[in-house]
Structure 1
Amino acid sequence: MESYKINKGINKPIEFKGLKGQYIGYMIAGLLFNLLVFGMLYGMGVAMNSCLLLLVFLSILVAVVVSRLNARYGEFGLMKKWAEKQVPRGIRVSNRNLFKQLARREEWN
């Protein structure tokens, strides 16, 4: 009889060095941005030591910010927070016509 390996990682979030889900993408985007800044500064003739010092500082800053977001909000918490900002706090109605129409529809049913 053949034995098959069971994949126990189904439906688990992608994780790399403690970063889960979209935070891996945020880290990559931040580091690519740092690389772009380094290339632009070096191309403009800024000293190599200054460029490297700024690159190290920005890379550490990106790593700290992303890891704190990951620890604070978890896998989906940040997306939920952004989605919560899109929900209106209330609906303003300037006249009663809407409610009159709803009342008529309820009478028909």
Structure 2
Amino acid sequence: MEYDVNKGVGKQVEFKGLTAMYLFILAGGLAAVLLAVVVLYLAGAGQWTCILGGIFAGSLLAWGVFRLNARFGEHGLMKMLAEKRHPRYLIRRRKIFRMLNPERKP
């Protein structure tokens, strides 16, 4: 019995050019748009208003996610978000006397 070798092991998930993180952002955003359309319809907004608003919001979301994917690439958005969490400077909380004294006391 022969088995095919899976040559996609270790690769990121990709669909229509969107890599894994952007694909999840798009899926979550579209779910949120659908939920917003349902809530608007149940709140009494007109049917065509809900449909056109959902199409507009979904299209805007898809355009934005594809633009982020093209701008930052596969790992660029995570790097940008990590850079914002990186401290700008380090604080040294030692007494000045200990910093000036060359001898170290155990």
Rounded Cα–Cα distance in structure 2 between residues aligned with 1:104 and 1:20:
52
Change in CA separation of 1:45 and 1:5 when aligned onto 2, cut-off 3 Å: same
Change in CA separation of 1:103 and 1:58 when aligned onto 2, cut-off 3 Å: farther
> Residue 30 of structure 2 aligns with which residue?
31
Q: Cα distance, 1:99 vs. partner? A: 3.1
Q: Report which stretch shifted further, 93-102 or 55-64.
A: 93-102
TM-score, normalised by the number of residues in structure 2: 0.86
Query: 3-state DSSP class of the match of 1:74?
Result: helix
Rounded Cα–Cα distance in structure 1 between residues aligned with 2:53 and 2:82:
34
Aligned length: 105
Q: Does 1:22 align with 2:28?
A: no
TM-score, normalised by the number of residues in structure 1: 0.84
> Residue 99 of structure 2 aligns with which residue?
99
> Residue 45 of structure 1 aligns with which residue?
44
CA RMSD in angstroms, aligned pairs only: 2.3
Unpaired stretches in structure 1, ≥5 consecutive residues: none
> Residue 5 of structure 1 aligns with which residue?
4
Q: Report which stretch shifted further, 92-101 or 39-48.
A: 92-101
CA deviation string 1:13-59 (max 9, x = no partner): 10011100111110011101101110110001110001011000000
